[in-house]
Amino acid sequence: MRPAGAAPAPSSSGLPGVALPGTSVLAMGRAARESSPGGEAWRRFRANRLGPLGLVIVLLLVLLAIGAPLIAPYPYDKPDFGAAWQFPSRQHLMGTDGIGRDFFSRIVYGARTSLAIGLSAQAIALTLGILLGLAAGMRGGMVDFVVMRLVDAVWAFPRLLFAIMLLTVLGSGFTNVLFAIAVTGWIPICRLTRAQLLGQREQEYVAAARAIGATERRVARVHLLPNIMGPIIVALTLGVPEAIFAEAGLSFLGIGINPPIPSWGQMVGESVSTIRFYWHLALFPAVMIGLTMLGFVLMGDGLRDALDPRSRS
């Protein structure tokens, strides 16, 4: 992979952070500066040309979500029946929907829904997944068996059908959509945490820590967790678009986020029956979902190159 931009290519590419005996003090100093773990990861992240593009898209989305009240020219939920079904114009940048709400404002506020679902679903997934993964990987035995059978059972179930039934039982809306997504969202993180633990547990540094009398809890917190975080961060980044996709899908089917709260998936779903005439109602939310997914996945792929030791060339 070639480094991007005009910056001179860093010379160190073999073993990060390792200065060989016999190299000059000057060279050691440079190696240390260039290959601190964070610096090394950042260099690898930039070397992947699409990663930074993803980062920019994600940052723009975050700005859109935070600044929604400043950016949106109209309230997202105020109907204006005299101005219904308008095509994009100077007054309404993206036109208006069937009851005259400004579509641009709804698109802007939709960023909040997507990001809120994506981030909070991953926060839940992280907590549940790491705790159960740690329990299974560190304790082993019966705990491991029970957790892994739970994982198998949840995973074998047809997920869409499960979400539909759950939302019919609980009713639609933000919290319940979040719950329906989180119920299965923790599984990849749990599996990954456990698998990473099993791989790292037998490493020499862990044996060394045990030999000098570290408790099991200290081994987990100080030695194991920092060493398995890289792949988990990558999985989390890739889990965000999955949660966003799930929300968009459920809202598309009309069982996700309830109007008037705007959700891009819901907008696409509502636009299908009128797509022949009112193209703007379909195009803008579809493009926003696509951009969001692309942004997070490209950023995640870049992070994988930067953080995942297995993918280092």
Partner 1 sequence: MGRYILLRLGGLAGVLIAVSVVTFVLMHLIPGGPYDEEKMPLSEEAKANILRSYGLDKPLWQQYLLFAGNALRFEFGYSYQSPGETVTQLISRVWTVSLQLGALTLAVAIPLGLGLGIVAASHRNSWLDNFVTLLATAGIVLPTFVVGILLILLFSNTLHWLPTGGWEGPRTWVMPVIAYALGPAGIIARYTRTCVIEGAGADYVRTARAKGLREGAVMWRHVLRNAAIPILTIAGPLVPDLLTGSIFIETIFRIPGLGSYFVTSVYQRDYPMIMTLALLAAFVVSIAYLSTDLIYLAIDPRIRLAS
The stretches of the chain forming alpha helices (DSSP H) are 25-34, 37-47, 50-66, 68-71, 103-134, 141-156, 159-170, 174-201, 204-211, 216-218, 225-252, 264-271, 279-307
Neighbours of 223 (CB within 10 A): 18
Nearest approach, Cβ of residue 175 and partner 1 (Å): 18
CB 234 within 8 A of CB 255: no
Residue from 164, 183, 220, 233 binding partner 1 (CB under 8 A): 164
* Block residue for tokens 């260099």: 43
CB 109 within 8 A of CB 76: yes
- Is residue 279 part of the contact set for partner 1 (CB under 8 A)? yes
Dihedral class, residue 244 (left if φ above 0, else alpha if ψ from -120 to 50, else beta): alpha
Name the residue nearer to partner 1 (CB basis): 124 or 248.
248
CA distance 196 to 194: 5
Residue from 30, 225, 283, 308 binding partner 1 (CB under 8 A): 283
Q: Phi and psi for 102 in degrees, rounded to 5? A: -65, 120
Residue from 45, 76, 104, 252 binding partner 1 (CB under 8 A): 252
- Is residue 56 part of the contact set for partner 1 (CB under 8 A)? no
Name the residue nearer to partner 1 (CB basis): 159 or 210.
159
Name the residue nearer to partner 1 (CB basis): 282 or 306.
282
Name the residue nearer to partner 1 (CB basis): 215 or 311.
311
- Is residue 289 part of the contact set for partner 1 (CB under 8 A)? yes
Residue from 99, 143, 233, 286 binding partner 1 (CB under 8 A): 286
Per CB under 8 A, residues contacting partner 1 are 50, 153, 156-158, 160-162, 164-166, 168-169, 241, 245, 248-249, 252-253, 255, 268-269, 271-272, 275-276, 279, 282-283, 286-287, 289-290, 293-294, 297-298, 301
